[in-house]
Structure 1
Amino acid sequence: MIHRMIAIMAFSFINMGIVAQAKAGDVHDNQTTALLAIIHGSKLVDLTHSFSSSTPVWSGFGQAIITPAKDPKTGQPYTIEKDGFRANYFSMVGQYGTHVDPPAHFDAHGATIDAIPLNQMILPLVVFDITGLLQKDPNHALSVNDILDWEKQHGRVPSGSFAALRTDMSKDWDANPARFKRSPFPAWSLAAVRFLIEQRGATAIGHESLDTDTTTQMDSETWLLKHGHYQIEAMAHLDQVPATGAVLIAMWPKVKDGDGFPARVVAVVPADVAQGH
């Protein structure tokens, strides 16, 4: 079901221009109808945090500054009452809120956010839930053995997947920002990241924390980005998606030569999968 869903979505996106001109009953209309039926019948889970000027962020970057846009001639903010519209200026690092780290974040020759192919932004989603391990080991790093144990229950990690790590850290994002920014914290081991990429063919990874590693050396993040893969950090609501069977859609502004940017990430959970979760 999951691969059929992705195939229909990809087919429809590629033929979007043709569909607009197709006659009633045309095969493209049928594909579009099938795609919409799947999406409208699915559970949509927002895996994205809202962000503000007080959002948790790495101390080396600092908080965002969000101010009203002003008329350059008068210096006064635009308002709906006076001007019929309003707008904001945003001054912040690209790695803010739920965000994408492209290879270029760590690799001078790596792909920037505008160069990541669209077909790498719509992927099968697998979720590794390590919350049950955190009572004994609050800073547990997902291991290769953890992945193998997961596969005994859920089957082999599909090639081309987006692999997400559930730790429930995201629940502290608004409720307890100081705890959210704690260090150390549960994350990935380098061995697990390499295994997923090299042995299982994963396309990208994501996690709830602001960093990939349980150590300060950033070995996992460095290896991942320098090997041409992107990641999504500060994900939310991974407790609301199943271990397998959903599709992840990750989108971000197409900033030329961008080294990172806030992202909007959604899980599409087909109805039959959602019922079993």
Structure 2
Amino acid sequence: MIVAVAFSLISIGALAQATASDGHASQTAELLAIVHAGKLVDLTHSFSATTPVWSGFGQAIITPAKDPKTGQPYTIDKDGFRANYFSMVGQYGTHVDPPAHFAANGATIDAIPLNQMILPLVVFDITGLLHQDPAHALSVNDILDWEKVHGRVPSGSFAALRTDMSKDWDSNPARFKRSPFPAWSLAAVRFLIEQRGVVAIGHEALDTDITPRMDSETWLLQHGHYQIEAMAHLDEVPATGAVLIAMWPKVKNGEGFPARVMAVVPADASPVH
């Protein structure tokens, strides 16, 4: 009797586990179907030893990894593999600036929660304003005008600033590094964080703003929010409706690092900014 009851309980448990497994498989398939039905947009620049970077940091040095015994580079023909050494600042290429970049007690890149790395994406396109003001800084009025068309900025979003500066990244690096450049105003950043609940921001330039004390960047990072700099292809994502995924190596106590950033754009999302 005891054996029979035990067998029955084991059978019920196995059935429940199998049912749960089937349910998980179904959910996984649904998630994959949603992702693959949309469009994946790479918001990341490739970087190299000649990539635009702030002059105070200098260019990356990328060299072949060498056998310490022989001093010779590893090669596929000789060793069956190859690898590189990288010597560069963390703020290189498309990269993440965590709060610790500007705040003594701020979170480092390994401490940013995973749920803050997958966020709804909103894009503020100011390219139409740059003909008259090439160094226009997004204002609160610009945001309110945007909301009249697209609705209120959702709480918990990642807000990106489209300026099309990224189009000069490879073709005209000197122009890409120009100053002044289109940027964020401090008032706009504070409004998005304090009034709209935005989690993080991103932009195409190497800096958040052009003020002498970097007011927008300083305020953002010192108030516990991260940003992504040197973003690409923001012209390929809609003003709303996409999801941003930002990933970077989990460097212990890291104060910045190149990131891989993408957008998942639903098939029915409007391309209009």
Query: Is the TM-score greater than 0.5?
Result: yes
| Correspondence for 1:38 | 34
Q: Could you give the per-residue CA deviations for residues 135-178 of structure 1, whole angstroms, max 9, x where no partner exists?
A: 00000000000000000000000000000000000000000000
Structure 1: stretches of 5+ with no match in the other structure: 1-20
CA–CA distance in structure 2, aligned partners of residues 131 and 138 of structure 1 = 9
Please say which structure displays the higher CA radius of gyration: 2
CA–CA distance in structure 1, aligned partners of residues 271 and 226 of structure 2 = 31
| Residue 138 (structure 2) pairs with residue 142 (structure 1) | yes
| Correspondence for 2:118 | 122
| Residue 259 (structure 2) pairs with residue 263 (structure 1) | yes
CA–CA distance in structure 1, aligned partners of residues 222 and 236 of structure 2 = 31
Which residue of 192, 200, 207 corresponds with 2:203?
207
| Residue 182 (structure 2) pairs with residue 175 (structure 1) | no
1:233-252 maps to which residues of 2 (within 5 A)?
233-252=229-248
| Correspondence for 1:18 | none
CA–CA distance in structure 2, aligned partners of residues 37 and 97 of structure 1 = 32
CA–CA distance in structure 1, aligned partners of residues 50 and 217 of structure 2 = 25
CA–CA distance in structure 2, aligned partners of residues 274 and 70 of structure 1 = 50
Report if aligned partners of 2:239, 2:272 keep a CA contact under 8 Å in 1: no
- Name the amino acid aligned to 1:245: G
Q: Could you give the per-residue CA deviations for residues 85-141 of structure 1, whole angstroms, max 9, x where no partner exists?
A: 000000000000000000000001000000000000000000000000000000000
CA–CA distance in structure 2, aligned partners of residues 224 and 276 of structure 1 = 28
CA–CA distance in structure 1, aligned partners of residues 24 and 145 of structure 2 = 42
State the SS of the aligned residue for 1:26. Answer: helix
State the SS of the aligned residue for 1:217. Answer: coil
Q: Could you give the per-residue CA deviations for residues 62-86 of structure 1, whole angstroms, max 9, x where no partner exists?
A: 0000000000000000000000000
CA–CA distance in structure 2, aligned partners of residues 158 and 30 of structure 1 = 29
| Correspondence for 1:92 | 88
- Name the amino acid aligned to 1:199: Q
- Name the amino acid aligned to 1:67: T
| Correspondence for 2:8 | none
- Name the amino acid aligned to 2:37: G
| Correspondence for 1:103 | 99
Q: Could you give the per-residue CA deviations for residues 244-277 of structure 1, whole angstroms, max 9, x where no partner exists?
A: 0000000000000000000000000011116778
Deviation, structure 1 residue 26: 2.4
CA–CA distance in structure 1, aligned partners of residues 140 and 234 of structure 2 = 20
State the SS of the aligned residue for 1:271. Answer: coil
| Correspondence for 1:15 | none
Report if aligned partners of 1:184, 1:215 keep a CA contact under 8 Å in 2: no
State the SS of the aligned residue for 1:172. Answer: helix
| Correspondence for 1:195 | 191
Which residue of 58, 62, 79 corresponds with 1:83?
79
| Correspondence for 2:219 | 223
- Name the amino acid aligned to 1:109: N
- Count, aligned residues: 257
TM-score (norm 1): 0.91
Tell me how large the CA RMSD over aligned residues is: 1.4
Deviation, structure 1 residue 25: 6.6
CA–CA distance in structure 1, aligned partners of residues 271 and 165 of structure 2 = 25
CA–CA distance in structure 1, aligned partners of residues 179 and 50 of structure 2 = 19
CA–CA distance in structure 2, aligned partners of residues 253 and 188 of structure 1 = 27
- Name the amino acid aligned to 2:39: K
Deviation, structure 1 residue 217: 1.6
| Correspondence for 2:148 | 152
- Cα distance change of structure 1 residues 275 and 165 upon mapping to structure 2, 3 Å threshold: closer
| Correspondence for 1:273 | 269
- Name the amino acid aligned to 1:69: A
